Every structure is written in C-alpha cells, then in structure tokens.
C-alpha cells in the first residue's frame, strides 16, 4: 500500500483484536441484560436504624458505640420479609396480644393482630454477621 496505509480487516475471522473486542462487548451486554432481568425490583424501605454497641441492654461505659447496625423494618418491607421467612409463626410471648412472630436465625418478624408487620435484625459491622436487634 502506498504511503504506509494499513488494510482494514474485512472479516472478523481475519482480525483477532476486533473479534475479541466484539465478543467482550456481546458478553458484557448479555450479562447486563441477564442480571437486570433476573434481579428483583428494588423497593423503598420504611423503618428505622441505629448504630449501637454489641450489648442490646445496658452496655458497659467503655463499650464502643458504633459496632453494630440495628434495623427495624416496617410496612411493605416487613411484610415481604415476614412472608419470606420459612419458619412457622408462633404466638408472640412478649406482646401476648395474639400477634404472631417468625424467627430465622437472628431475624425476627411479627405480624400484629391488626395485620401490620415489623422486623428486627442487626449486622455486626466488623464481621458482617447477622445478629439480634431486639429483646423481649
């Protein structure tokens, strides 16, 4: 070619760089589409949170106060989590008003007599372990 001009590849079979780039783009688009189709629709949360020490009741004076994230879910989020817990509902002995509670590990959810739901659980920030967030 005159002047050092380069010939463009006319097919993917002869251009490995283009073929690899095209494959990577196709893979990225395909994976993005698959993840977006399989992921649950995100929803807004209602409830409260607190950063707290490890002890739920009467922490020692020198105990670090921000080692745990405690979550209290209400509304649709609590209803969804209550329904997702596979344990059988049991009469809530703390409330003793006909409410039913489910626990799975350290997650606890309650369905109140009037039908509203609440859930409590915590996360130990250092280990990312799910921990209790309420006591009776």
Q: pLDDT tens across 42-100, in order?
A: 999 999 999 999 999 999 999 999 999 999 999 999 999 999 999 999 999 999 999 99
Q: CB–CB of 118/110 below 8 Å? A: yes
Give the model's confidence band at 26: pLDDT under 50 very low, under 70 low, under 90 confident, else very high: very low
**pTM score:** 0.69
Q: What's residue 39's pLDDT?
A: 64
| Among 66, 82, 85, CA closest to 74 | 82
- Does 28 reside within a domain? yes
- Does 1 reside within a domain? no
Looking at the structure, do residues 34 and 54 belong to the same domain, yes or no? no
Q: What's residue 125's pLDDT?
A: 97
Domain count, the chain: 2
Residue-range definition of the domain harbouring residue 33: 10-38
Q: 21 vs 86, which has greater pLDDT?
A: 86
* Non-local CB neighbours of 69 within 8 Å, separated by 6+ positions: 49, 50, 51, 52, 122, 123, 125
């Amino acid at each position: 070619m005159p002047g050092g001009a380069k010939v463009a590849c006319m097919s993917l079979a002869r251009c490995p760089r283009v073929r690899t780039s095209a494959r990577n783009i196709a893979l990225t688009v395909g994976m993005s589409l698959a993840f977006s189709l399989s992921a649950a629709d995100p929803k807004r949360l209602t409830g409260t949170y607190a950063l707290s020490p490890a002890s739920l009741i009467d922490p020692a004076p020198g105990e670090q106060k921000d080692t745990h994230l405690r979550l209290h879910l209400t509304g649709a989020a609590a209803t969804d989590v209550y329904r997702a817990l596979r344990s059988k509902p049991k009469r809530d002995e703390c409330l003793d008003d006909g409410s039913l509670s489910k626990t799975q590990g350290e997650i606890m959810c309650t369905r109140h007599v009037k039908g509203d739901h609440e859930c409590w659980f915590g996360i130990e920030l250092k280990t990312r372990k799910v921990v209790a967030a309420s006591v009776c």
